[in-house]
């Protein structure tokens, strides 16, 4: 049984979260603006998804999922009777570090190879199942199957992909092989996939949030507020790309020296400031830098460090969850890191982990509360009842992250009654769900054009 660490239970909400809400609110509006979106730190990307599931969708789909160190191919079935997306089979291919930093051609050849092997193993070569591609990076969606990568995040930096159409690169890689072909492609961000897959179970799901290697959220916005898209009626899902919050310097006064080092030593300095304070790719490194500083200041480990503690990346984010889960874990991890610890050190390290994960949960809560409040005000409601589909290793695996985030959201958005629904493989199955919704609401033949209708986009 996991226990919440005592310091967490005693804390009260600080003004930090309110500060964030005010700033973020302005940035959301800037990102939606017709003329201001070009220089907006929070990109607020229109996804052209205009409808959430109603539970009547069905059919077989292929899904691709690229967003972290693994690439996955899935064969999924949407079963109407059970209101379920069932994974028939899947294959995982790891993406080696060199490939994350190599050329785009190498990356897409690898993806095409993985997909080819999967189709072969499932006897699906030659079939033209609709394919959903969850690509979890900021993209300017031009059409359902045309999505331009704005920039890489989360440790990826493949050359020749930024500014290019990702679907085109995938198709070119498949044609280079020449042994199979694919049918129609629907591109989705993982937040959108998460919202859509949760939306099948709970039709009031209108927000998708990821707190994993990276962080981001999407939500259903009134079209009349999306100034880059023509139209007055209805709603459209907006991929906020909130990880970029602060990239214009708006969070400078609350960044710590440790945040600054993490940014400077990352492969993309100055980019995704908010994400670097929050997500799994960076939390372990923030804790490591803090522990080194405390040891140097003779506050820990009798003033000594170890080779492992001094090596960037050696304090993994999963250690934070393990250490907060119990002191015994803390002791084992400190020993494995070659540190000469005493019982007080172990308690202090646990407190450091709690402080960093707690800050992350509260910042996310502030961002989520801002979005929920915005939806409520948009609709002229005194009280909003809504559901957030959520996924990501930090949210799922940390012993009290979700609890703390939810408590802070309740304080910051008291007029919003929010249900949190953990997505069952949203980024894998969600892309299939997007294609399924499209099939439900439009005639076969021009099926994908309704939910992804690019009426007119001002770029």
Answer yes or no: 345 catalytic.
no
Structure tokens at 277: 């304070």
Q: Is 273 in the site for ligand BGC (CB under 6 A)?
A: no
What is the DSSP code string of 188-205? E-HHHHHHHHHHHH-TTE
Whichever of 49 and 119 has its CB closer to ligand BGC, that residue is 49
154, 288, 398, 440: which one binds ligand BGC (CB under 6 A): 154
5, 52, 134, 136: which one binds ligand BGC (CB under 6 A): 136
- Residues 6 or more apart whose Cβ sits within 8 Å of residue 127: none
Environment class of residue 313 by beta-carbon count within 10 Å: exposed (0-12), middle (13-18) or buried (19+)?
exposed
Structure tokens at 212: 């994993």
Whichever of 101 and 411 has its CB closer to ligand BGC, that residue is 101
5, 153, 373, 402: which one binds ligand BGC (CB under 6 A): 153
| Contact (Cβ atoms closer than 8 angstroms) between residue 280 and residue 317 | yes
Residue 18 and residue 98: Cα distance in Å, rounded?
41
Binding mask 242-271 for ligand BGC (x = CB under 6 A): -x----------------------------
Strand order in the sheet with 384-391: 45-46, 235-239, 215-222, 205-211, 384-391, 416-422
Task: Name the residue with the smallest CB distance to ligand BGC.
Answer: 214
| Contact (Cβ atoms closer than 8 angstroms) between residue 105 and residue 168 | no
Scanning 164-316, the segments in alpha helix (DSSP H) are: 166-177, 190-201, 257-264, 273-278, 280-296, 307-310
Q: Which of 154, 263, 345, 429 is labelled catalytic?
A: 154
Answer yes or no: 154 catalytic.
yes
Number of amino acids touching ligand BGC (CB under 6 A) = 18
The minimum distance between CB 215 and ligand BGC, in angstroms, equals: 6
Q: Which of 190, 263, 354, 425 is labelled catalytic?
A: 190
Q: Is 216 in the site for ligand BGC (CB under 6 A)?
A: yes
Whichever of 48 and 450 has its CB closer to ligand BGC, that residue is 48
Q: Is 193 in the site for ligand BGC (CB under 6 A)?
A: no
Candidate segments 20-28, 30-38, 185-193, 251-259, binder of ligand BGC by CB under 6 A: 185-193
| Residue 261, CA distances (Å) to 20, 131, 274, 277 in order | 22, 40, 14, 11
Q: Is 190 in the site for ligand BGC (CB under 6 A)?
A: yes
The minimum distance between CB 326 and ligand BGC, in angstroms, equals: 29
Q: Is 402 in the site for ligand BGC (CB under 6 A)?
A: no
Candidate segments 52-60, 209-217, 220-228, 407-415, binder of ligand BGC by CB under 6 A: 209-217
Residue 153 and residue 243: Cα distance in Å, rounded?
9
Residue given tokens 């799994």 in the structure block: 280
Interaction site with ligand BGC (CB under 6 A): 67, 136-138, 153-154, 189-191, 210, 212, 214-216, 241, 243, 272, 275
Active site residues: 154, 190
């Amino acid at each position: 049984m996991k226990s919440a660490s005592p310091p967490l239970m005693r804390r009260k909400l600080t003004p930090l979260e309110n500060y964030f809400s005010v700033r973020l609110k302005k940035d959301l509006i800037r990102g939606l603006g017709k003329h201001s979106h070009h220089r907006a730190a929070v990109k607020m990307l229109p996804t052209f998804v205009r409808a959430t599931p109603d539970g009547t969708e069905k059919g077989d789909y292929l899904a691709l999922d690229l967003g972290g160190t693994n690439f996955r191919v899935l064969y999924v079935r949407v079963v109407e009777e059970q209101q379920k997306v069932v994974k028939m089979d899947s294959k995982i291919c790891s993406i080696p570090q060199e490939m994350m930093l190599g050329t785009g051609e190498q990356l897409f050849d690898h993806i095409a190879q993985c997909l080819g092997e999967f189709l072969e193993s499932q006897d699906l070569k030659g079939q033209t199942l609709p394919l959903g591609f969850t690509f979890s990076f900021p993209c300017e969606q031009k059409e359902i199957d045309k999505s331009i990568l704005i920039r890489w995040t989360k440790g990826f930096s493949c050359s020749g992909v930024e500014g290019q159409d990702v679907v085109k690169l995938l198709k070119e890689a498949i044609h280079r092989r020449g042994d199979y072909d694919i049918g129609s492609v629907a591109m989705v961000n993982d937040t959108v996939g998460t919202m859509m897959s949760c939306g099948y179970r709970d039709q009031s799901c209108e927000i998708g949030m990821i707190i994993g290697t990276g962080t981001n959220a999407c939500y259903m916005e009134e079209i009349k507020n999306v100034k880059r898209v023509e139209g007055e009626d209805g709603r459209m899902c907006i991929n906020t790309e909130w990880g970029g919050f602060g990239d214009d310097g708006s969070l400078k006064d609350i960044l710590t020296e440790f945040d600054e080092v993490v940014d400077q030593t990352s492969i993309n300095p100055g980019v995704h400031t908010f994400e670097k304070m929050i997500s799994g790719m960076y939390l372990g490194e923030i804790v490591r830098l803090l522990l080194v500083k405390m040891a140097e200041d003779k506050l820990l480990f009798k003033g000594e460090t170890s080779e492992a503690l001094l090596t960037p990346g050696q304090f993994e984010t999963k250690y934070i969850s393990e250490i907060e889960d119990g002191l015994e874990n803390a002791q084992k991890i400190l020993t494995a890191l070659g540190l000469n610890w005493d019982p007080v050190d172990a308690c202090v390290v646990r407190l450091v982990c709690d402080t960093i994960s707690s800050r992350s949960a509260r910042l996310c809560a502030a961002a989520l509360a801002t979005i929920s409040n915005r939806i409520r005000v948009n609709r002229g409601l005194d009280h909003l009842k809504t559901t957030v589909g959520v996924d990501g290793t930090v949210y799922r695996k940390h012993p009290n992250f979700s609890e703390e985030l939810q408590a802070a959201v309740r304080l910051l958005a008291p007029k919003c009654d929010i249900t949190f629904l953990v997505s069952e493989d949203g980024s894998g199955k969600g892309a299939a769900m997007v294609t399924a919704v499209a099939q439900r609401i439009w005639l076969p033949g021009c099926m994908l054009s309704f939910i992804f209708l690019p009426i007119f986009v001002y770029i």
